[in-house]
């Protein structure tokens, strides 16, 4: 296990069923991990589906966490929560009970199968910047620069 302390930003989203309850449940499960401390929770924001638009609106929320988990360990843990909560991947970017994306871990740049940091949504989903600004972390997007420029 990576014993360095990492600061990570997560984006949670849901557009099926009791969206508020699903967010609360996911946040509780994340916070229950002994190697994760939730530092900040953003407001839950109703957002329209952006890429696949023939589905219900999403409820999205950001978390800032501190963790000793490596990015891969964190990803595996979060995918486990998605599975436990009943996420079924019927189509890419389709409706979901819960989706938990790792937006960033420190200033790491990782491009591996299944793990891309920073996450593309930092640059493609306008509500992410709005939610980061709410947490006082709006400069995070600028810190990584525009991926299409390099």
> Does residue 138 sit within a domain?
yes
Q: Higher pLDDT residue, 16 or 141?
A: 16
pLDDT digits (tens, 9 = 90+) for 21-46: 999 999 999 999 999 999 999 999 99
pLDDT at residue 100, rounded to an integer: 96
> Does residue 62 sit within a domain?
yes
pLDDT at residue 14, rounded to an integer: 95
> Does residue 96 sit within a domain?
yes
> Does residue 149 sit within a domain?
no
pLDDT digits (tens, 9 = 90+) for 120-132: 888 888 889 888 8
> Does residue 150 sit within a domain?
no
Range with lowest mean pLDDT among 16-25, 88-97, 133-142 = 88-97
The answer to whether the peptide bond before residue 8 is cis (omega within 30 degrees of 0) is no
What's the total number of domains in the chain?
1
Say whether pLDDT at 6 is over 70: yes
Q: Higher pLDDT residue, 114 or 36?
A: 36
User: Which of 29, 116, 38, 42 has the alpha carbon at shortest distance from 75?
Assistant: 116
Say whether pLDDT at 106 is over 50: yes
Domain of 60?
6-144
Band of pLDDT at residue 149, cut at 50, 70 and 90: very low
> Does residue 19 sit within a domain?
yes
Q: How far apart are CA 19 and CA 1, in angstroms?
A: 33
User: Which of 129, 108, 117 has the alpha carbon at shortest distance from 42?
Assistant: 129
Residue 65's domain is classified under what CATH number? 3.30.70.560
> Does residue 83 sit within a domain?
yes
pTM value is 0.89
> Does residue 1 sit within a domain?
no
């Amino acid at each position: 296990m990576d014993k360095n302390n990492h600061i990570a930003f997560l984006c949670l989203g849901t557009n099926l069923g009791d969206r508020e309850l699903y967010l609360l449940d996911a946040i509780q499960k994340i916070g229950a991990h002994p190697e994760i401390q939730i530092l900040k929770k953003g407001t839950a924001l109703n957002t329209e589906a952006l890429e696949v638009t023939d589905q219900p609106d999403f409820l999205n929320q950001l978390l800032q966490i501190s963790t000793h988990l490596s990015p891969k360990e964190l990803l595996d843990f979060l995918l486990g929560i998605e599975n436990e909560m009943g996420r079924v991947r019927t189509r890419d970017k389709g409706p979901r009970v819960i989706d938990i994306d790792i937006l960033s871990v420190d200033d790491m740049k990782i491009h591996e199968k299944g793990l891309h940091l920073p996450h593309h949504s930092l640059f493609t989903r306008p509500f992410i910047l709005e939610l980061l600004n709410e947490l006082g972390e709006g400069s995070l997007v600028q810190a990584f620069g525009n991926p299409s420029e390099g």
